[in-house]
Structure 1
Amino acid sequence: MHKILKIVLLIIGVLSMVFLARIVGAGDEEVKELAANGDTSLLEPMTWIAYIILGITLALVLLFVVVNLFANTATLKNALIGVGAFLVVGLIAYFTASGVETPMQDGKMLSASGAKWVDTGLYMFYFLAVIAAGTMLITGINKMIK
């Protein structure tokens, strides 16, 4: 498996260097001109390499997280408690948020539903920031006491 991974990484690395050399060789002005005309043929291969690497990375992270969660029941229990707590904070933020139609800078209107979701995101951020700061403060005080 390690040898196969090394070969795949080598191929991706060589392809990336070739595509980068094409972009650098074309020069800034030509790249800008092509992009202004809607021609992305020079940049598109490098973009696809980035998408492929991102996809592989996400797939591997998810795979290892799921395998690790189910390999250890204590880890799974703690993860489910964390997800549940996050959902509770999300529900509290959602029901605390108000949804009022709001005019935006470009003259359009933000719907009441959209405004409620924006408020929910902000409230979640505030709640989680306060929880994190409080946890650090309590932990620091407990360490000073001991």
Structure 2
Amino acid sequence: MSLHKIIKIVVGILAVIGLILALMIMSGNEGMVDNMLYVTYLVLALILALVLVYVVKGLFAGNIKKTLLSVGAFLVILVISYAMSSGTDLDLTPFTNKGVDVTESTSKYVGAGLYAFYALAIIAIGSMALSGIKNIFNK
């Protein structure tokens, strides 16, 4: 049996379980929310495992130098984003007074994530625009 068929069967089973749990939640059984979260975590773990398998499989089948350069560039963006975020530019007292455990470290991670998102979005939009401009002038 091929991997594609196995994945289709697992997806079908998880879809049926998800549908049953969703119907139970809609019927007013609020205790099922926890069970739905467990299914969500299971699906997330399964997807991450499959992505990891296919990435490693594609890594050894393709050009490893290009892949490592791309991963390195991504890591450089993350390091620069982390260095740019200060974590001290937010007044944390309203959060700590409400019992939320927000520290400067947490604020720094969130800021780094936002900076990384902005940088990657700008790079993606720029590359799409550049590709479109190249297509216009090449025709």
TM-score of the aligned structures, taking structure 2 as reference length: 0.67
Name the residue aligned to 2:59: 69
Determine the C-alpha separation between the residues in 2 that align with 1:10 and 1:125: 30
Question: Displacement, 1:116?
Answer: 1.5
Q: TM-score, structure 1 length as denominator? A: 0.64
Is residue 59 of structure 1 aligned with residue 49 of structure 2?
Answer: yes
Are the aligned partners of 1:94 and 1:117 in contact in 2 as well (CA < 8 Å)?
yes
The residue type equivalent to 2:58 in the other structure is N
**Percentage of identical aligned residues:** 34
RMSD, aligned α-carbons: 3.8
Q: Deviations over 1:54-104 (max 9, x none)?
A: 5444333322221221122x1x22221111111111111111111216326
Structure 1 unaligned segments of length 5 or more: list them: none
The 4+ residue runs of structure 1 with deviation greater than 3 A are 2-6, 8-13, 46-58
How big is the shift at 1:12?
A: 3.6
Structure 1 residues 102 and 141: alpha-carbon distance in aligned structure 2, compared to 1, 3 A threshold: same
Structure with the bigger RCO (C-alpha within 8 Å, sep 6+) is 2
| Larger radius of gyration between Structure 1 and Structure 2 | 1
* Contact 1:99 1:114 (8 Å CA) reproduced: yes
Contact kept, 8 Å, 1:99 with 1:113, in 2: the verdict is yes
- Tell me which residue corresponds to 1:102: 91
